[in-house]
Structure 1
């Protein structure tokens, strides 16, 4: 199964939420930069995280924390795959610097398959407001330094998406899952690493000596 890429297709109705122990089918995803990749990955666990739109301030701030500790995440045997519901051409301008795979799903087909929802509480829940403020301030600072880009004024996929995290074992079994309740409700890197043992041991590295 290739990455969905048709932005004119009507978003599918979300399925029921997935739970630990559920299995996901093997598919090939095409990141906005880099080669295609398989999910599940027979060589490592995969952390699939669903974000919002390209340039989302809260998403950008969170992904910085993931990028800073990416080597640590890899040592734990986890591969990062991040989905946004923006077109690939738009998304590429915002995420080309990240050290992990970012996939465009403008038709929200994978969002529907994984039961990831959009809801007004994404922005209206007061628990998410501090993250919004931090993200906006960080984005403004980047713009003043001549870095970063503003998100597009029009977001066909909406701005009220909720985040979600899935840890998938090499065999394709979901070992841990989190459906966010507001815009800034996702696993921290520390929380992700606590789930790593459930997905199996890290893939062996190259021989030394």
Structure 2
């Protein structure tokens, strides 16, 4: 199991970072101060559940952006694999390749074989929909196949409003929790 830093908690300042995105543009999280930020950590670029989630978020992006929420998506895959798979969706928010998994470590995002196995029983209909209906066929796996996703909803002051560490490979921060935080507009 790779080294994992401690998990972050609600109320803590989100670790700042400055990295290139898939397009080669610099993403500096300090530039998002004054706005909400949904920072999501996914598995690998061809992960069917990850592609399904990213597709859902892309449909919510325009409405959320007008309400002051920006999004960033981090993958453990290199840029060429992101372009081949999830990047082919032409998403309205930046994708960040992190094959060295530096950001995963900074945010305490880990792995779990149990979480990998549980998802096959718990999320089989969702996996089937991602593959059969949406066409998100799994391809190459970069990084650990047992990577568990995580989401961080960061408030305009730079603090974590919601830290959600998934329990399985398809567990993300529920959309309803994001909506609740946006409606509440807590800046502390």
Contact 1:128 1:183 in 2 (8 A): no
Please state how far the C-alpha of 1:118 moved relative to its aligned partner.
1.0
Contact 2:48 2:138 in 1 (8 A): no
Specify whether residues 103 and 165 from structure 1 end up closer, same or farther in structure 2 by C-alpha distance, changes over 3 A only: same
Please state how far the C-alpha of 1:111 moved relative to its aligned partner.
0.7
Instruction: Work out whether 1:115 is the aligned partner of 2:101.
Output: no
Instruction: Work out whether 1:87 is the aligned partner of 2:78.
Output: yes
Q: Which segments of 5 or more consecutive residues in structure 2 lack a partner in the other structure?
A: none
Contact 1:76 1:193 in 2 (8 A): no
Instruction: Work out whether 1:36 is the aligned partner of 2:33.
Output: no
Q: Which residue of 2 is the match for residue 135 of structure 1? A: 130
Going by fraction, where is helix more abundant, 1 or 2? 2
Contact 2:34 2:157 in 1 (8 A): no
Contact 2:6 2:108 in 1 (8 A): yes
Contact 2:74 2:95 in 1 (8 A): yes
Q: Which segments of 5 or more consecutive residues in structure 1 lack a partner in the other structure?
A: 1-10, 143-148, 201-209
Equivalences, count:
182
Contact 1:58 1:134 in 2 (8 A): no
CA distance in 2 between counterparts of 1:187 and 1:25 reads 19
Which structure's CA Rg is the greater one?
A: 1
Contact 1:47 1:167 in 2 (8 A): yes
Please state how far the C-alpha of 1:113 moved relative to its aligned partner.
1.1
